[in-house]
Structure 1
Amino acid sequence: MRISSAGLFLAIAAISRAPVANAERVLSSTSLNTCQENSGFTASRFNVVFTPNNASVFVNMLAVSSIESHVVFDIAIFIYGYEFMRRTINPCDTGFAGFCPMTAGKTSTPFNLFLNKDAVDQIPTIAYTFPDLDAKVRVFINSTDGSSAGHSVACVETNISNGKTVDLLGVKWAAAIVTGLALLSSAIFSGLGHSNTASHVAANALSLCSYFQAQAIVGLVRISLPPVVQAWTQDFQWSLGIIKVAFLESIYTWYQRATGGTPSELFSSLAQVSVQVEKRALHMVRPALDLFESATARLPVAAHSLARRADTTQTSSGSYVITGIPRVAFRALIETTNIFMTGVIFFWIILLATIVFVAAFKGLCEAFVKAKWMRGDIFQDFRNGWRTVLKGILFRISLIGYAPIAILCLWQLAERDSAAEVVLAIGFFLGLTGTLAWASYKVIRIAKRSVTLHKNPAYILFSDLHTLNKWGFLYIQFRASAYYFIVPVLGYTLLKAIFIAFASGAAQAIALIIIEAAALIAATVLRPWMDKKTNSFNIAICVVNFLNAIMLLIFTEIFNQPPLATGIVGVVLWILNAAFTLVLLIMLIITTTLVFFHGNPDGRYQYMADDRTSFMKSQSQLNTTTELDALGAAARGDGRGGFASELELHSEVQHPEKQSLSSDRWHVPNEYTHQAPSVASSGHEPHTPITSVTPTQPAHPSDGLDTQNNASPHVFRAENNASPWQRGAGYEH
């Protein structure tokens, strides 16, 4: 039996110490990589498992050696970049057959090794229990004969895994389900008329989803990441649409071939190719072609499709170092050339599923009302304008999906998997970017019109139901005076996508620090979100994103820090983000759940200072007796049976003399007449359309208006500076 140096170094890899645990413990490795040029020993398949309970090491590998001399093994063990131990072993002293002296040839016979108790007892607890263990064993094979004596003739290394990882299916499902249910809850509250609650829940859910995407983007950078960072960021790749569905992957591969592309075949070559995701990157070791004649027909194809990619470099020994998006694809068990189609198609599947769901829900509501299983006033706004609501939902999904679509489409322009996919990338990117840009322009235009006519952007943005349902996804999470903030948000997303798709590792890290710092400063100074709690929620996310960017810069080793520092920073990034994610999830679960058991859901949240609730058709708000309720009811036109349409509002600008919401339709509660002392003291009645009405029952246009003395309410309020619609945060100046 021939025992390779690979088997020997794994045996030495078990030089750590730990007490025996109740559960079965193992240390394993699935790849042996060369670590010097012209290494005289390579392994194309390498599977080793060490079981401490019986002190056995099972080795199954395909290896080739070109060394013919006496050698010694210089073995170093690294844990989180720290050289834990170094030993030199002479195989002649230990009786390893085939290594005294070492001879050229191939090794393919599986075998077992047994360690002594002292070696097993030296294994530390961390080797068995810590997830995504960053442990590496490196073996230099040094010749002791002739002119090469004292020189390394081969170098091999491997990463050791204990089988424990933070890349867990349960984490992915938990994060996705909580976010999805929160978004669904906001839609339900909105349909039931609790607009204040719906906007708060939706704002928090969208912010949480954007944070998940930010963590996923960390895993896409062209930077060597510690194993625990790779695993943690993989938990959130679902938020970018990177989800494997086996039959769809086959379709993507077929489509790429049919359109002139060359699919990668990494996973179909695993029987001949050893693959390892390690601290410094992903290495694919290609065997010498004389060992695998049967693989010569397909290995060059896979090699070509990988070597041409911007995220892939090939060493002189034939191994591949893969970072960035291909690394994420490999960990997701997706061929690199399929990841673009995977993300894009998943986005469109969500859009189509949403259309079907909303249409089906509309049909069920109508059927239940007709069968008298549900009151006719439930979901009435949704049933009357479900098409507009559907458009708003699709726009919101487009906003959530903009980050992955921008990243993958721009990346595809650099990779060019096939001509058809490049065309799709251009179309999807320009289409989605144009759609969101047009929506942002519409919101800004409507808000400016509202400011011109009513001195308050909240008036039209929140009183016009058509505008709120269709375009509200862009501004409802912000205070009314910060309606424009969606533009910086889209710019922030686009800039990140550009650098992730095109820049190198160091450039990505520096750019992300600048971008995240700008986002943090803007969020802290402007505080654009709807209230104090939502601002705090988002500012905390910006802080963590900025810290993540700093740690990415450290991973580039631009500071030449010791490897141990890099390993520690990787653990810190995981612990920080895991704890923060848990806190955000618990907060969202608790706040959303409590709302369902609250008699007045809108009452759980403080009404925004921009007076939006006075203009929104919220059932709970309409039951209160405040001054702004009466103003909101009059502004909505409840007295004449509905809301002003977007067309009417548009005509106000074109034909001011025919304003649909002009002075003959403005009715202010009686108490506002007492806010004009200068007029009252003159002994003359103010020439205004103000009538005596109760705060909760606005007057009808026909209720005794003096049409001959119908002075403009704008003039009256300007003279007396008593407009209640110019109060609140952001409107004092």
Structure 2
Amino acid sequence: MRLSIARPFAALTALAGLVAPVAAEPILQSNSLNSCQENSGFQASLFKVVFTPNNLTANIDIVAVSSVQGSVLFDVDVTAYGFSIIKQTIDPCKVGLPGLCPMTAGKIPLNFNIGLKQSDIEMIPGIAYTFPDLDAKVKVFFNMTDGPEQGRSVACVEADISNGKTVDLLGVKWATALVAFFALVSSAIMSGLGHYNAASHVAANALSLFGYFQAQAMIGLTGVPLPPIVMSWTQDFQWSMGIVRLDWMQDIFTWYQRATGGTAATIFDSIQTVSVQVEKRSLSVVEAGTGLVSRSAAMMPRSIVEPVADLTKRALLKRANIQTSSGSYIVYGIQRVAFRAGIETTNLFMTSLTFFCLMIIFVSASVAAFKYACELAVKQKWMASDKFLDFRNGWLTVLKGILFRLTLIGWPSMTILCLWEFTQNDSPALMVLAIFFLVGMAATLGWAAAKVIRIARRSILMHNNPAYILFSDPQALNKWGFLYVQFRASAYYFILPVLGYLLVKGMFIAFAQGKSTAQAVGFIIIEAAALIAASVLRPWMDKSTNSFNIAICAINFVNSIFLLIFTEVFNQPPIVTGVVGIVLWIANAIFALVLLLMLIATTVMVIFRENPDGRYQFMADDRTSFMKSQTHLTTTTELDALAVTARGGKEGFNKGLDLDDDAESITSDSLRRQTEHLGVPSAAASNNNFHNNGYNSRPRSPADPSMPFFPADGPRSPPRYNDKRAPSPFDGGAPQYGQQSPPGFNRAQNNASPSPWQRGAGYEH
């Protein structure tokens, strides 16, 4: 039985129509025609097919170049997820298509409507109009029926079909962005109110979730050919990389690039006359069909790639994207993300960079505005004078810490796009910006990480516990805490492996755009190393946070295996690739939803809880016993006043403390100066005979047991770094592992009115 040519086009457009969002009416469409055979005699620079089943018509608009002369038959194969649905042979002379019976050499512009029968419509399954991002296509072989090439295929073309349904939805982008923003802001507010334990948990989970969003975006940025549903799903998270389109910004970026000696891409200006092929299959197939250069040419996405036979005769012309010999463009990898976001490829770097800078400016202005709003509220007696006291006294230090944290959040996107810009050279000015921001951010984060390691080592040297200075000094906690609060105290160094992990991953994405297999293998190695390190070291602050992050590492590793499958290195049937794409989408959608609900529930519960810190168990490193408690006491004692003085000199920040100066810290001369004027002997004063007493390995902790603000119910000893669980230096009454409580200790008496030294060390439980 012979079908009209509209039938496969209708089926193809119907099957591809599965990919679009809700439309006013069912629609199946295709916007590009790709070659699928080497030396194909029929190529189209423009191809648009729109099928509307409600009015039984299909509009076809083609601008093609043909080198085929004579009569041909069309062998049509319609597939969905690699599974063949329709196979038919069509005679164009029976259908009456102009210019195709017989075919003539030259440029063939075609624009016509085809009427369909109801029987043709019924061949298309109803799911084709509703399933999002359907991976469907129609492939047509041109077989000669006369002349010396009779029976041979002289051309092959294929078209991808869409139905307007997609998982690339604006609502998903806004929902994920708002949840992450809400959690980060909530953690900042709780920290300002003095609930450091709850704030650190919420912030750690929010940053981990944000990192997962960025990992999803990185999958879309790889040069690996992705199924349509995976492309759309990863596009939902490109906002986390700063890839957001604003029309007026794009105009400015284009002007800036041209003004600084660059050549802006114009792919969207010519989209009405030129097709853009979003690469979804192995790049070698595309090369064979379009006469592109070898895969190494993918590292030169600003070059027009000539047919292989002409490479020795012509110089490569500078263009914005890879272009086939027929004039259509091919986008993949980072370019694919830019095209789907509606951004010219030459503007992508500036788009991400600008949003990163705007985020810094907005947050800085918001912090300053909040500070002065608090001061005004206190002055007008709208708010208690002790609210946000720490923040108001040391807001500049807090702002520094926030800017460092924003730098850490922007590190993945800037790493990828700055390195990618080195391969593009869009303009000299953009190259300078890429170098400046990459080197500047790397130096800033590297120096900050080194600073944390130095502080922790000094704490170990002086107190046998890295948590002491890291968490007892407000300056260190607020300025550098973004690098270590999410980790347990003994894993203070783990930020360096995290930064290295992101850098290496970014290098694979930026420099291996044309090497999809190498990229996928590299991702497997990187993610496997991350999963093993997370599972073995378990560096995060507690069991729940470790589980949260290990689960993210596990799903990232599974996604890297899926990436390798998408490269078709195993030569698996196409249906396997399609099914794996659906599995990736379903698995990650469920996982992301669970993480979002967990974060929302945790944040809301913490906000509306009378004592947010009470929701979490105190960490094994006893960090909360070192932190300056902000919880209001029912009674105020001289002991508490001395504790406050020893920890910072006043309620708020001691402006004399600044760990940028290594000679100034709560553990050195500053503590001596703060305590001696009160008549309280300092650690240095009480250990003048340090070397004479034979303790020449490490100085004692300044939290000296002889000081009067310790409970006198048992011996005291400083926490040991190598203990299974380092006890608080202020928790001498707490029993050690395998020991009973010291004689005379009465927990009921201490529970009545715990001091801030006891709170967080287990006395109130």
In structure 1, the partner of 2:657 is 645
Superposition pairs of residues 603-682 of structure 1, within 5 angstroms: 603-620=614-631, 636=647, 645-646=657-658, 650-651=663-664, 664-665=681-682
1:237 aligns with 2:238: yes
Superposition pairs of residues 433-582 of structure 1, within 5 angstroms: 433-503=442-512, 504-582=515-593
Check the 8 A contact 1:183/1:202 in 2, yes or no. Answer: yes
Aligned CA distance change for structure 1 residues 16 and 402 (closer, same or farther; 3 Å): closer
In structure 2, the partner of 1:389 is 398
1:323 aligns with 2:335: no
Distance 1:481 1:624 in 2: 35
In structure 2, the partner of 1:690 is 706
In structure 2, the partner of 1:428 is 437
1:13 aligns with 2:12: yes
Aligned CA distance change for structure 1 residues 9 and 624 (closer, same or farther; 3 Å): farther
Distance 2:443 2:731 in 1: 35
The 3-state SS of whatever aligns with 2:62 is strand
Aligned CA distance change for structure 1 residues 22 and 327 (closer, same or farther; 3 Å): closer
After superposition, give the CA deviation of every residue in 1:616-643 in whole Å (9 maximum; x if it has no partner). 1232386799xx9999757525699975
Aligned CA distance change for structure 1 residues 716 and 101 (closer, same or farther; 3 Å): closer
Q: Name the stretch that deviates more: 479-488 or 252-261.
A: 252-261
Aligned CA distance change for structure 1 residues 281 and 187 (closer, same or farther; 3 Å): farther
Residue 236 of structure 1 aligns with an amino acid whose one-letter code is F
Residue 82 of structure 2 aligns with an amino acid whose one-letter code is G
Check the 8 A contact 1:45/1:61 in 2, yes or no. Answer: yes
Residue 25 of structure 1 aligns with an amino acid whose one-letter code is P
Aligned CA distance change for structure 1 residues 508 and 99 (closer, same or farther; 3 Å): closer
After superposition, give the CA deviation of every residue in 1:633-668 in whole Å (9 maximum; x if it has no partner). 57525699975824697357887996877992469x
In structure 1, the partner of 2:52 is 51
The 3-state SS of whatever aligns with 1:267 is coil
Aligned CA distance change for structure 1 residues 310 and 452 (closer, same or farther; 3 Å): farther
Distance 1:359 1:22 in 2: 45
Distance 2:487 2:526 in 1: 21
Residue 10 of structure 1 aligns with an amino acid whose one-letter code is F
The 3-state SS of whatever aligns with 2:221 is coil
In structure 1, the partner of 2:162 is 161
Check the 8 A contact 1:609/1:727 in 2, yes or no. Answer: no
Distance 2:632 2:537 in 1: 28
Superposition pairs of residues 243-254 of structure 1, within 5 angstroms: 243-254=244-255
Residue 507 of structure 2 aligns with an amino acid whose one-letter code is I
In structure 2, the partner of 1:296 is none
Check the 8 A contact 1:614/1:629 in 2, yes or no. Answer: no
Aligned CA distance change for structure 1 residues 694 and 98 (closer, same or farther; 3 Å): closer
Out of 605, 630, 635, which is 1:594 matched to? 605
1:84 aligns with 2:85: yes
Distance 2:180 2:69 in 1: 61
Compare the two structures and name the one with the higher helix fraction: 1
Check the 8 A contact 2:279/2:330 in 1, yes or no. Answer: no
Aligned CA distance change for structure 1 residues 476 and 622 (closer, same or farther; 3 Å): farther
In structure 1, the partner of 2:695 is none
Question: Shift of the alpha carbon at 1:157?
Answer: 1.2
Check the 8 A contact 1:281/1:323 in 2, yes or no. Answer: no
Distance 2:476 2:323 in 1: 54
Distance 1:275 1:23 in 2: 25
**Structure 2: unaligned runs, 5 residues or longer:** 291-300, 307-314, 685-703, 738-765
Distance 1:257 1:590 in 2: 49
In structure 1, the partner of 2:202 is 201
Question: Shift of the alpha carbon at 1:65?
Answer: 3.8
Distance 2:194 2:130 in 1: 51
Q: Name the stretch that deviates more: 302-311 or 410-419.
A: 302-311
Check the 8 A contact 1:621/1:629 in 2, yes or no. Answer: no
In structure 2, the partner of 1:701 is none
Check the 8 A contact 1:216/1:239 in 2, yes or no. Answer: yes
Number of residue equivalences: 676
**Structure 1: unaligned runs, 5 residues or longer:** 289-299, 668-687, 699-710
Q: Name the stretch that deviates more: 187-196 or 31-40.
A: 31-40
Aligned CA distance change for structure 1 residues 482 and 142 (closer, same or farther; 3 Å): same
Check the 8 A contact 1:330/1:336 in 2, yes or no. Answer: yes
In structure 2, the partner of 1:350 is 359
Superposition pairs of residues 137-216 of structure 1, within 5 angstroms: 137-216=138-217
The 3-state SS of whatever aligns with 1:45 is strand
Distance 2:446 2:555 in 1: 28
Aligned CA distance change for structure 1 residues 225 and 624 (closer, same or farther; 3 Å): farther
Check the 8 A contact 2:58/2:113 in 1, yes or no. Answer: yes
Check the 8 A contact 1:7/1:59 in 2, yes or no. Answer: no
TM-score for both structures, normalised by structure 1: 0.84
Question: Shift of the alpha carbon at 1:321?
Answer: 3.3
Check the 8 A contact 1:134/1:279 in 2, yes or no. Answer: no
The 3-state SS of whatever aligns with 1:50 is strand
Residue 650 of structure 1 aligns with an amino acid whose one-letter code is A
Aligned CA distance change for structure 1 residues 485 and 7 (closer, same or farther; 3 Å): same
Q: CA RMSD in A?
A: 3.9
Residue 397 of structure 1 aligns with an amino acid whose one-letter code is L
Check the 8 A contact 1:15/1:122 in 2, yes or no. Answer: no
After superposition, give the CA deviation of every residue in 1:127-154 in whole Å (9 maximum; x if it has no partner). 1121111001011111111101111222
Question: Shift of the alpha carbon at 1:317?
Answer: 4.2
Residue 494 of structure 2 aligns with an amino acid whose one-letter code is F
After superposition, give the CA deviation of every residue in 1:212-246 in whole Å (9 maximum; x if it has no partner). 00000001111111111111111101101111121
Residue 440 of structure 1 aligns with an amino acid whose one-letter code is A
In structure 1, the partner of 2:751 is none
Out of 366, 369, 372, which is 2:381 matched to? 372
Check the 8 A contact 1:192/1:379 in 2, yes or no. Answer: yes
Aligned CA distance change for structure 1 residues 447 and 661 (closer, same or farther; 3 Å): farther
Check the 8 A contact 1:262/1:301 in 2, yes or no. Answer: no
The 3-state SS of whatever aligns with 1:139 is strand
Residue 420 of structure 1 aligns with an amino acid whose one-letter code is A
The 3-state SS of whatever aligns with 1:44 is strand
Question: Shift of the alpha carbon at 1:122?
Answer: 1.8
Aligned CA distance change for structure 1 residues 629 and 520 (closer, same or farther; 3 Å): farther
Distance 2:131 2:727 in 1: 63
Residue 645 of structure 1 aligns with an amino acid whose one-letter code is L
Check the 8 A contact 1:75/1:140 in 2, yes or no. Answer: yes
